Structure 1
Amino acid sequence: MSDQDPGIWSGIDDLWTWLDSHRPSDSQLPDGRQSLLLRVLKLSEEVGEVAEAVIGAMNRNPRKGNSHTWEDVESELCDVVITALIALRTLTPDAREVFAGHLERVRERSLGPR
């Protein structure tokens, strides 16, 4: 599946490498699973930030008012995608291929074969 933007995966690999080199030891869970668990949990945090930004952009929090813009929502959605891809890369070194295969299956299921 060579039609994926290599810059995205290069950036994900760079961020994954940086995070991996700056992580504390995984003494609480065996086999380094703590990093994976925390990266998956980070998704919930990022999705919450999307929700907060949407509520703020729609001026639906009477306590905070119009606290966000739609550009903030875009930024938070990008953070969700980046965090998910880093979690996938933490789970498997074949993240690019796993994602491409899954995307193709979802595309075919929704749109039919090419």
Structure 2
Amino acid sequence: MDQIWETVNSLAGKLDSHFQRSDEERWTVQALKLQEEAGEVAEAVIGALGANPRKGFSHGWDDVRKETCDVALSALVMLARMGGDPRWFFEEHVRSVAGRDLNGGAAV
């Protein structure tokens, strides 16, 4: 898990070094990147189902998995770009969701 966070923080630092803007602008661009990646998951699902008559079965479920990983990674990079300790924040949030949703609460 340490290697994942090292990679996340390195990616965040690299992106920040190439985009010298205000914090809010950097976070906004990362949020847009996250949305772009989510759209690629939707495109892959449509392709895996063959739901676009023009494209047919253009993707497989492994493509959906890969695109979903891109969404997760983009979200973690956004968290890292927002400062503080992203690993602590994420793990604390997972604990909070687990406490809420795995103890009889609504599912996420």
- Normalised by the length of structure 2, the TM-score is 0.89
Matched residue pairs, number?
103
What is the distance in 2 between the residues matched to 1:9 and 1:93?
13
Match in the other structure for 2:100: 109
Question: Which residue in the other structure is 1:59 paired with?
Answer: 50
| Counterpart position of 1:69 | 60
Where does structure 1 differ by over 4 angstroms across 4 or more consecutive aligned residues? Answer: none
Q: What residue in structure 2 maps to residue 91 of structure 1? A: 82
Identity of aligned residues (%): 45
Unaligned stretches of 5+ residues in structure 1: none
Partners of 2:86 and 2:41 in 1: CA distance: 24
DSSP 3-state at the match of 1:64:
coil
TM-score (norm 1): 0.85
Q: Deviations over 1:17-74 (max 9, x none)?
A: 1111222x32xxxx33211110011111111000000000111100111111111101
Equivalent residue letter for 2:82: L
- Native 8 Å contact 2:23 2:82 kept in 1: no
Alignment partners' CA distance in 1, 2:87 and 2:18 = 23
Cα distance in 2 between the residues matched to 1:51 and 1:32: 29
In the other structure, the counterpart of 1:22 is 18
